Amino acid sequence: MNFRFPFLILFLVVFLFNSCETIPFLKESFSEKEEVSLHIPQIEGSAEKRSRYEFSGKEIIISSDHPLASQAGMEVWKQGGNVVDVFAAASFAISVLRPHSTGLFGGGFAVIHLPQKGKWAYDFRERSPKKGTSSFYLNPDGSVIAGKTLKGAYSAGVPGTVQGILAIQKQHGKLPLNVVIAPAIRYAKNGFSVYGDLANAISKTWPDMNLAMKKVFGIDNRAIREGELLQQEDLAKTLERIVENSEKEFLDGETIQLVSQYYSEYENFITSDDFKNYQVKVSDPLVSSTWGHTILTMPPPSSGVHLVTMMNLYSEMQKRNTFPKGNVGEIIRITEAMRVAYRDRAELGGDPGFTTVPVSKLVSASYAKEETNEIEKKVVSGSWPESKEEKQKQESYNTTHISIMDKDGNAVSTTQSVNGIFGAVQMVPGTGLVLNNTMDDFAVAPGVPNLYGLVGSKANAIEPGKTPLSSMSPTILLDGTGKTKMVIGAPGGSQIPTSIFNTLYRYLVQKESLYESVSYPRIHHQFQPDRIFLDPEIKDSFPQTELPFYQVQYIRHRAKVFAITREGDRLIGVSDPKGEGVPLGF
């Protein structure tokens, strides 16, 4: 393939936290019935910083969580690959570059739209192993065994990242596997400079790492530091075995033999049979229409359905004249839409193979009207429920996201994870791979919060072969003509759906630029704890006294949005200025 557009060299990694400028936050309502004039500082305002996190091109753009992952994608595109090859190359690369966020022993989702071929939703999330049952994590008296789902060998589910990437690339890619994985192998062998976020994650988890993990992420018996070279020789060998054996490597190859050997000391909690029985699930995306666009998102056990519910509720509330005017009314509409969506997630969310998730109802106009009626009663009567003082844990929300779109509208939105920071904080010796701790995404017991403070019901209870409920919500938007308009997604635990909502709200409703929409301070409510979380920039402009009916906590929103949009004949990509990633393209 010949290209008229030069391959763009990588921008140098720079970090955040410069001086901010004041810009409007809530400017106008969706129906343009009233003026909303709240002003707060933008998190990232300078033109210099904006040029790093925003990219415009005509052929293709990738927005990812690390510059070298974006570069890996563009490297295979330059060699004649398509958007799926770009996805595969960037996915393998990001597993090398952000091992505290994702990895080949993790899992994920991908929504793919190829206008000339079709659209698909791929679920390659972790599954509970055969020995994974609720009782395995409970004491004889029924109480939860502290930390068992959070750290260590028993916190891991059967991983699906490799199986998912390979299945997708085999079905839709163009290039040989060795070409697609070459950048990841190079990064693992040659190494890369440790950046601040990775150095902090290593330092934080160092005491809990097993010996195999400390050998990789340590130098001279201490945690590797920012600026030092990280080389991952065992991981490079694992990647080379995947090139040689393809999907067979994760059926009965050497990697799985090493996993079985590791788990022989842990009651054979995960076995080779768990890998042989693993299936990548392929379905149609969840399709819905709202805010003037067709939404293609991941069906359950993703939280895509709850994102759509949020959007529908906000639209319905905009039609009512009973809400307060101005800024307060807008905050109420956004917050109550989130509260209902996360209530539904807690009560109904789970693996549709094991429980019934009423998707059609949750995305229906009638449901939005019913729920808005209830919210309206509360607002009109002033009968706000009393909120309890609850502390929200400050966690380093990990996971990663990659958005890709080309000039023909071919698009991939994929979110991948090992769940918490470095997952289980255990490495399988000889593989270079860190185990996930995705068993914590299940509801270990009804009402017991997970790592991100989210609660669940019996619908999300631990069962063999089951996929846990996930906040990951990779999404693609089509415009009124059916052309691909936008690719969006985010890492960030419980804040993923609300981060996507915040960005879509700014871009589609308030008509801000994509960069401003991604970088704006955000609002978050997740039903429990019953509290609205606001970025600190909002505090001076919107103090607690303006929202006496809510418990408010000002805390940095940790999720990072990666988005691409089409505007005329241009593609515009943005990587969240909270992170290290950059968008690249032609």
Q: What is the pLDDT of residues 292-324, one digit of tens each?
A: 999 999 999 999 999 999 999 999 999 999 888
This prediction's pTM: 0.90
Which residues have CB under 8 Å from 318's CB, separation 6+? 29, 30, 31, 33, 333
CA distances (Å), origin 523, targets 80, 329, 513, 526, 532: 42, 14, 18, 10, 7
Is 63 one of the annotated binding-site residues?
A: no
Residue 3 has pLDDT above 80, yes or no: no
Q: How far apart are CA 522 and CA 444, in angstroms?
A: 30
Q: How far apart are CA 409 and CA 246, in angstroms?
A: 29
- Three-state DSSP at 415 gives strand
| Per-residue pLDDT, 180 | 98
State the average pLDDT for the chain: 89
Residue 108 has pLDDT above 50, yes or no: yes
| Per-residue pLDDT, 221 | 93
Query: Model confidence at 41, in pLDDT bands (50, 70, 90)?
Result: very low
Q: What are the extents of the domains in the chain?
A: 57-191+231-381+397-580, 193-230
Is 302 one of the annotated binding-site residues?
A: no
Is 419 one of the annotated binding-site residues?
A: yes
Higher-scoring residue by pLDDT: 100, 551 = 100
Tens of pLDDT, residue by residue over 393-422, are 444 458 999 999 999 999 999 999 999 999
Q: How far apart are CA 509 and CA 517, in angstroms?
A: 10
Type of residue numbered 179 = V
Is 418 one of the annotated binding-site residues?
A: yes
Q: Which sign, positive or negative, has the C-alpha torsion 326, 329, 332, 337?
A: negative
Q: How far apart are CA 35 and CA 144, in angstroms?
A: 50
Is 457 one of the annotated binding-site residues?
A: no
Is 125 one of the annotated binding-site residues?
A: yes
Is 530 one of the annotated binding-site residues?
A: no
Percentage of the chain with pLDDT > 70?
87
Superfamily per CATH, domain 57-191+231-381+397-580: Gamma-glutamyltranspeptidase, small (S) subunit (3.60.20.40)
Q: How far apart are CA 151 and CA 317, in angstroms?
A: 42
How many other C-beta atoms can be found within 10 angstroms of the C-beta atom of residue 559? Answer: 26
* Backbone region of residue 411 per phi and psi (left: phi > 0; alpha: psi in -120 to 50; beta: other values): beta
List the structure tokens of 125.
């999330």
Residues annotated as catalytic (active site), given as ranges: 399
| Per-residue pLDDT, 549 | 81
Distance of CA 385 to the CA centre of its chain: 31
Query: Model confidence at 457, in pLDDT bands (50, 70, 90)?
Result: confident
Mean per-residue pLDDT, 435-448: 86
Higher-scoring residue by pLDDT: 48, 25 = 48
Type of residue numbered 265 = E
List the structure tokens of 290.
């709202």
532-534 and 552-554: which strand pairing? parallel
Q: Which of 437, 471, 146 is nearest to 303 (CA)?
A: 471
For 464-569, strand residue ranges (E) read 475-478, 484-489, 523-524, 532-534, 552-554, 562-567
List the structure tokens of 151.
């750290």
Residue 560 has pLDDT above 80, yes or no: yes
List the structure tokens of 179.
């070409």
- Cβ atoms of 125 and 417 within 8 Å: the answer is no
* Inter-helix orientation angle 365-381/326-348, to 10°: 120
Is 522 one of the annotated binding-site residues?
A: no
